[in-house]
Amino acid sequence: MADTSASGSDASCMEKLKSYVRTQKGMILAAEIFISIIIIICYAASLYGGYSAVAICEMVFAMVFFGIFMMEMDKQFQLVNWMWSDLFRAGIGAILYVITSLMCVIGGAGDGARIAGGVFGLIAGMLFTYDTYTIFLEIKSTRQHTAASTDDKV
């Protein structure tokens, strides 16, 4: 009996995964995770792998937010403003990827894996920037404007 309930929850989780990856936000987060894995591989093959910390941290953060949004935990834990947290995550990720990638591309002479990691990092920087922009637009559209009262009796 425990096996049937466990397989039912696995199927439900897999269905949530498939349906979330089809959304725009799910595709962006999946692409961020995928390109971070590619960057980690490039930096691991490099002679100097010190830049892999940014890719590892951003991949872990993207995985955490992917799981939170996929399982709809953002609607359950309303103590945290998940939209603003995601905005800061994506914005900081974009800035860090661009800075470290430029350093790798400029100073990576003779180390092809480091230059490849830098190029993929620039692509990741653009992806994170696009994610920041879409989150900003979503925050801007959900913000409600209330008209100020012009009643003199107040």
Dmax over CA atoms of the chain, in Å, equals 76
In a domain, 78, yes or no: yes
Write out the residue range of the structural domain in which residue 39 sits: 20-140
In a domain, 14, yes or no: no
More reliable by pLDDT, 46 or 11 = 46
In a domain, 15, yes or no: no
Q: Identify the DSSP state of 73.
A: G
In a domain, 7, yes or no: no
In a domain, 36, yes or no: yes
In a domain, 5, yes or no: no
In a domain, 1, yes or no: no
Residue among 92, 120, 118 nearest 35 (CA): 120
pLDDT of residue 146: 52
Structurally, the chain folds into a number of domains equal to 1
In a domain, 11, yes or no: no
**97 with 124: CB under 8 angstroms?**
yes
| pLDDT, tens digit (0-9, with 9 covering 90-100), for 14-52 | 888 888 899 999 999 999 999 999 999 999 998 887 788
pLDDT level of residue 75 (50, 70, 90 thresholds): confident
pLDDT of residue 144: 64
Length, in residues, of the chain:
154
- Which of 81-85, 108-112, 129-133 has the lowest average pLDDT? 108-112
Q: What angle do CA 63, 69, 75 make, to 5 degrees?
A: 145
